[in-house]
Amino acid sequence: MTLKKHHRDWLESVFASDAKFEEPMSRHTSLHVGGPAEAHVSPRNQSDLVTLVKWLKENNLPFLVVGSGTNLLVLDGGVRGVVISIKQCLNDIHHQNPEQNRVRVSAGASVRLSALCKYAGTNGFQGLNFALGIPGTVGGAIFMNAGTHHGCMADIVSSVAVLMPHGEIKTFEHTTLSFRYRGLDWPPAVSNDNQPGIIIEGCFNLAVTSKKTVLAEANEILKKRSATQPLHRWSAGCIFKNPPEGKTAGQLIDLAGLKGKRIGDAQVSNTHANFIINRGQASAADILKLKSDIQNTVFSSFKVRLETEVQIVGT
């Protein structure tokens, strides 16, 4: 146990029913697996989030921030400390007046990428359609520099607002951020502290075109996505990063003959081989074992080491 009784009492007194204890993380992840979080807290607004983060810092308690839980594999032993769910806060989207056919759109970290794409589409703002293929929230997508063949977050981010452990909010312009393939290296101001900052908002630089143009492109991408991905099954999206060159992870797993392979209720999707689906009762251990079997088979067949894209947390 990381949390003492007085910690639980404080969380309960400040967050009432928004603080839950021994909360199964399987309820909060798109894979529907994961053991209990010692505490699971959903602040209702930014000011409550700041209060919580400052308290965690003062008490030197570990925490994990979770958006939509779509790129997350929580292990069966669960998560120690506090899981902060940002679902109930950081969900505003707005834009400034366009200038010279460009516009800055700001979105809170818990806004779903699909909702941000819809907002951009209905306003005729172009540049976000690449993200239609990606599950998850704005905060997670920035942190992972999420992307597809059509682009990645680094292409459109103009700045990122981060809540620092002592409660202050710092804005980092794109030029101070080091995006890499499926990741972001924070400037020392954020990463030097043993408690990391929390992304609370992203600001995106988009082109102003017409609603018709953006939505027509979006429809094409969505049609392709629903034909090629198991969207209605429990999964965490693509489980592996694509190798830097050559065939994609999905192609390699498919060519290795692994589609349909099962361990318990964890299965390599027959629709897209880079998805592991939970058929209902899978444990995190089943998923981990299947993931490592895939890596071993792909390595022995093609001498390619597949790197995991999904974030693995817990014990």
List residues near ligand EPU by CB under 6 A: 133-134, 148-149, 228, 237-238, 241-242, 248-251, 254, 272-274, 309
**34, 314 in Cβ contact below 8 A?**
yes
Q: For ligand EPU, which is the closer residue by CB, 134 or 200? A: 134
Q: For ligand EPU, which is the closer residue by CB, 114 or 251? A: 251
Distance, C-alpha 315 to centroid of its chain: 19
Q: For ligand EPU, which is the closer residue by CB, 18 or 254? A: 254
Q: For ligand EPU, which is the closer residue by CB, 41 or 273? A: 273
Q: How far apart are CA 138 and CA 129, in angstroms?
A: 14
CB of 254 to ligand EPU, least distance (A): 4
Question: Can you read off the two tokens belonging to residue 253?
Answer: 């797993």
Q: How far apart are CA 80 and CA 84, in angstroms?
A: 12
Report the residue closest to ligand EPU, judged by CB: 237
**202, 92 in Cβ contact below 8 A?**
no
- Where do runs of H (alpha helix) occur along 176-265? 188-191, 211-228, 249-255
Q: CB-side exposure of 133: number of CA atoms within 13 Å?
A: 19
CB of 310 to ligand EPU, least distance (A): 8
Q: Each residue of 171-204: b (16+ CB within 10 Å) or e?
A: ebeeeebebeebebebeeebeeeeebbbbbbbbb
225 catalytic per annotation: no
**15, 25 in Cβ contact below 8 A?**
no
CB of 30 to ligand EPU, least distance (A): 10
User: Which of 50, 51, 30, 27 has its CA nearest to residue 40?
Assistant: 27
CB of 291 to ligand EPU, least distance (A): 14
182 catalytic per annotation: yes
CA angle centred on 239, ends 116 and 284, rounded to 5°: 110
**24, 76 in Cβ contact below 8 A?**
no
Question: Can you read off the two tokens belonging to residue 277?
Answer: 């689906």
CB of 142 to ligand EPU, least distance (A): 14
What are the beta bridge partners of residue 73? Answer: 312
Query: Which residues have CB under 8 Å from 17's CB, separation 6+?
Result: none
The dihedral through the CA atoms of 143, 106, 209, 136 has a sign that is positive
Q: For ligand EPU, which is the closer residue by CB, 43 or 140? A: 140
CB of 187 to ligand EPU, least distance (A): 25
309 catalytic per annotation: yes
Catalytic residue among 182, 225, 233, 262: 182
Q: For ligand EPU, which is the closer residue by CB, 77 or 183? A: 183
Which residues are identified as catalytic? 182, 238, 309
